[in-house]
Amino acid sequence: MNSNKVLASLCYFSIFFAGFIFPIVVYFVADDQAVKQHAKKAFLSHLIPAATILLFIISAIFAGLTGGGSDVSFWVSSGLVWLGFAIAGVVNLVVVVWNIIKGIQVLK
């Protein structure tokens, strides 16, 4: 098995053990252009869960600041927070599955 394929595949699998760090290191250390391309794609796919979590935190803070007026606004704002939580969970699950699939495809 080619070590470049293994390295490129590990960039995708690093969502489980090294997050952002491993693809960045591989991008700057690797000489092969294909490995650099996979490292860049893996890094960008690792940013998506971080962005959804950040948006969820911002929406929860916003809902907490605006949801204190009445019972209806409280339930609406808390419902939106739970909806954001569910959407972030689904997006993060899709990104993890996509990284697994891409990591396996690179190894083949």
Packed helices 33-66 and 3-13: angle between N→C axes, nearest 10 degrees: 0
Contacts of residue 93, Cβ cutoff 8 Å, sequence gap at least 6: none
**Domain count across the chain:** 1
Residues 22-69 have pLDDT tens digits of 999 999 998 889 999 999 999 999 888 888 888 888 877 877 776 556
Please list, in sequence order, all residues whose beta carbon lies within 8 angstroms of the beta carbon of residue 22, skipping any fewer than 6 positions away.
10, 11, 14
Rounded mean pLDDT, 9-16 = 90
- For residues 102 and 41, the answer to whether their CB atoms sit within 8 Å is yes
Contact 13, 100 (CB under 8 A): yes
Range of the structural domain that residue 63 is part of = 3-107
pLDDT above 70 coverage of the chain, percent: 87
Single-letter amino acid code for the residue at 46: H
> Given this model, what pLDDT does residue 66 score?
67
3-state SS class at 47? helix
Separation CA 106–CA 103 (nearest Å):
5
